[in-house]
A and B are shown apart, each in its own frame.
Chain A
Amino acid sequence: MISFRSLFASAWMGIQHDLAWTYPPVSLALQVVAPFASAMTVSMIYWFGSSNSGPGVLFNPTQLAYVLVGSTLYAHVAAYAWVPTVAIAEGKNLSVFQHIYLTARSTALYVAGRALSSFAISVTTSIAALAAAYYVLGSFLSTTVPLTVTPVTALMLGIALVADIPAALGLGYLLGAYSLYASKFEWSLPGYVAGLLMVFSGALFPPSILPYPVSVGATYLPFTQFIAAARVAIVPGVSGNYLYSLSLCVLGGAIFLVVGLAVYFAAEKKARKDGVIDRRMA
């Protein structure tokens, strides 16, 4: 049963954990640095490659916006999808997790709360990173990055961000299930997932360039459709259908969430039974 009080308490704990280790505005500003640098890096790779490859390859500002938006949103998904893994692994390591699993609620609520708080922080930092990269790239490359920001496009982007939550939460539960039961490699798992998202989510290039049938699988990932919908919303001239991408994102997200929860509950039940849930080293 969903308890909004528990969910809110977990989310608040997440906010405290992620922001209150120092003065919160400083902490928030520091969290903008990584997505900003990551978005700048791939945008500059695009600029360098397209400007120095001879007459057949031309620099196209719309393509720059495509890469910039994709890389920022990929970083956003990667930032909050890995929180369940870290929340559990760190909780076990610092002996916090045992206090959570002893309560009447499932730890799934705690994980959801932590992921949602991280989502809120990540939305803020990603949008700040996108805005900063927009201005800095314009200045460095002497170009205008074509982005359309109006109340309508902002609302469309906001809806796409929310539509991706089930998919990211489902992925988080799948990774969290591993962390519940194991104490090896859990810190490296998010790196793997971030790398996989970078390749298969269409963040930097269209998934159609991947070999068949990988390209088909990558195209229908909810994360790919989320980024596609967000691009249609704010990058003028990008082809695609907003509602189609949004629908596929929600549908894929629902599947991810159901599978993720099923795996997580099974792992939690087994971990309780085997007595490894509160062990630092399972």
Chain B
Amino acid sequence: METRPWLRTMKARALVRLWSIFGERLWIVVNMGFPILSSLALSLLYYSIGATGYIGFAILGGVMVAFWGNVLWSMASQFNWDKQEGLFEIYLTSPASLSAILIGMSFGGIIGTAPSAAMVIGIGWVLFHPVVAASWGAVLLTFLLTLVSLYAMGMTLSSLYLTYGREAESMNNVLQEPVSMVSGLYFPAIGGASPFPFAIQAVASLIPLTIGMDALRKSLFRGMDVGSIWPSLVTLAVMAVIFLVISNFALKALENRGRRDGTIAVRIR
């Protein structure tokens, strides 16, 4: 495989995503809406019951829900929407690699979502002054690995969604809230403080967001360094590789099946 066309494809798709977000400034503001407001509401819930020491959990959850929403609605569903718009046919007839397109989409999505995340942090900080005892190196490393594994999961979902027709949107609606709940975006979902029974904690641990959130809380609010949270970091890295491999296989398999059955470019089923 030649590297240059692959990289150019990735860059081109990332630029399309960035242009679609930053080219229309109002989009930046619009994208901030739900993460900021949900984070604010849940911070106020912690505040109203006197649990002010945990307001930082709600703010961190608001940061990560912005990325999770982006993965679900702008990664997982994207090929499906491209199919409806007739764009997917163009991808298929061009020599561009679908994996490069997805990775470009991920880069664009991460950079495009960053303003929302930053705004949640800024507003949360100004309004609530959450208590932070961070090991910043560990926080940064965990954050990056969480994003890589999360977007790799988005690539896998994107390839699986190619088999769906109109059901894709309903699948997103079904996935969004339960994953937010079991992955512990706003409260610990795994470990001693989790309200979940062991079986649910075990299943939740298969989602990168669960591992990432747990490690982020430990490094950001309890000052745990890389040496203390390394099992989570290794797990996130392994998950990223596994999801990338699965998405690559799934894309090829579904593309072949779609070509054979003549359904790959059918717009609405």
A residues engaging B (CB < 8 A)? 21-22, 27, 30-31, 33-38, 40-42, 44-50, 52-53, 56-57, 63, 67, 140-141, 184-185, 188, 191-192, 194-196, 198-199, 203-206, 209-210
Task: Assess A41 versus B177: contact at CB under 8 Å? Given A48-B187, A49-B46, A140-B196.
Answer: yes
Does A205 contact B193, Cβ atoms closer than 8 Å? no
Bound CA–CA A56/B51 (angstroms): 9
Contact B31 A140 (CB under 8 A): no
A40 touches B181 (CB 8 A): yes
Q: In B34-74, which residues have CB < 8 Å from any A CB?
A: 34, 36-38, 40-42, 44-51, 53-54, 58
B94 close to chain A: CB less than 8 A = no
Closest to B41 in A: A198
Within 8 Å CB of A47, what residues of B?
195
Task: Considering the complex, give the chain B residue whose CB is closest to the CB of A142.
Answer: B195
A21-B48 contact in complex given A49-B54, A188-B33, A195-B33, C-beta closer than 8 Å = no
Nearest-neighbor residue (CB-CB) of B34 within chain A = A191
Q: Assess A37 versus B195: contact at CB under 8 Å? Given A56-B50, A188-B30.
A: no
Q: B170–A21 contact, CB under 8 A?
A: yes
Q: Give the nearest-CB partner of A201 in chain B.
A: B41
Cα distance, A194 to B69, chains bound together (Å): 15
Q: Are A140 and B49 in contact (CB under 8 A)?
A: no
Task: Specify which chain A residues have a CB less than 8 angstroms from the CB of B195 in the assembled complex.
Answer: 44, 47-48, 140-141
Residue of A33, A48, A194 near B34 (CB, 8 A) is A194
Determine which of B36, B41, B197 lies in contact with A204 in the assembled complex, contact meaning CB atoms within 8 Å.
Answer: B41
Contact B53 A45 (CB under 8 A): no
Quick check: B51 and A37 within 8 Å, CB to CB?
A: no
A49 to B188 Cα, complex, angstroms: 11
Which residues of B are in contact with A by a Cβ distance under 8 Å? 24, 26-27, 30-31, 33-34, 36-38, 40-42, 44-51, 53-54, 58, 166-167, 170, 173-174, 176-178, 180-181, 185-188, 193, 195-197
Interface-central residue, A30, A41, A56, by most chain B CB under 10 Å: A41
Q: Report yes or no: B54 in contact with A48, Cβ–Cβ below 8 A.
A: yes
Q: Which residues of B lie under 8 Å from residue A56 when comparing CB positions?
A: 50
- Extra 18 A-B pairs, beta carbons < 8 Å, given A34-B173, A57-B49, A185-B30: A31-B173, A38-B181, A40-B181, A42-B45, A44-B195, A45-B187, A48-B195, A53-B54, A57-B51, A63-B49, A188-B33, A192-B33, A192-B34, A194-B37, A195-B38, A198-B41, A205-B45, A205-B49
From residue A178, how far is it (CB to closest CB) to chain B in Å? 12
B53 surroundings in chain A (CB, below 8 A)? 53
* Residue from the set A21, A35, A203, A210 with the largest chain B CB neighbour count within 10 Å: A21
> Can you list 13 pairs linking A and B with CB atoms under 8 Å apart?
A33-B173, A44-B187, A48-B188, A49-B49, A53-B50, A53-B53, A184-B26, A188-B34, A195-B40, A203-B41, A204-B41, A205-B47, A205-B48
A63 to B58, CA, bound (A): 19
Note all chain B residues with C-beta closer than 8 A to A184: 24, 26
Complex contact B44–A199 (CB within 8 A): yes
Are B38 and A42 within 8 A (Cβ)? no
| B31: chain A residues within 8 A (beta carbon) | 188
Q: Which residues of A contact B167 (CB under 8 A)?
A: 21-22
Measured in the bound complex, the distance between the Cα atoms of B211 and A148 in whole Å is 39
Contacts of A204 in B (CB 8 A): 41-42, 44-45, 48
User: A63 — which chain B residues lie within 8 A by C-beta?
Assistant: 49
Nearest chain A CB to B85 CB, angstrom units:
10
Q: Which residue of B lies closest to A209 (CB)?
A: B48
Nearest CB in chain B: distance from A23 CB, A: 12
**Contact A34-B49, Cβ < 8 Å, known A48-B193, A53-B54, A192-B34:** no
Which 9 pairs from chain A and chain B are nearest by CB? A195-B37, A49-B51, A37-B177, A205-B48, A198-B41, A191-B34, A192-B33, A48-B187, A53-B51
Question: In the complex the two chains form, what is the Cα distance from A78 to B31 in whole Å?
Answer: 18
CA distance A140 to B188 in the complex (A): 14
Question: Which residues in B have their C-beta under 8 angstroms from that of A203?
Answer: 41
With A48-B195, A57-B51 as given contacts, are A195 and B41 in contact (CB-CB < 8 Å)? yes
B47 CB → nearest A CB, Å: 7
Residues in chain A near residue B180, CB distance under 8 A: 37, 41
Q: Cβ of A192 and Cβ of B174 under 8 Å apart?
A: no
Measured between beta carbons, the chain B residues less than 8 angstroms from A141 are 195
Q: Is the CB of A30 within 8 A of B174?
A: yes
Which A residues are in CB contact (< 8 Å) with B41?
195, 198-199, 203-204
Residues on A with beta carbons closer than 8 Å to the beta carbon of B34: 188, 191-192, 194-195
Query: Which of B33, B40, B176, B197 makes the CB contact (< 8 A) with A34?
Result: B176
Q: Within the complex, what minimum Cβ distance (angstroms) separates B116 from chain A?
A: 11
Distance, CA A35 to CA B27, complexed state (A): 27
A191: nearest chain-B partner, CB-CB: B34
Neighbouring B residues of A42 by C-beta, 8 Å: 42, 45
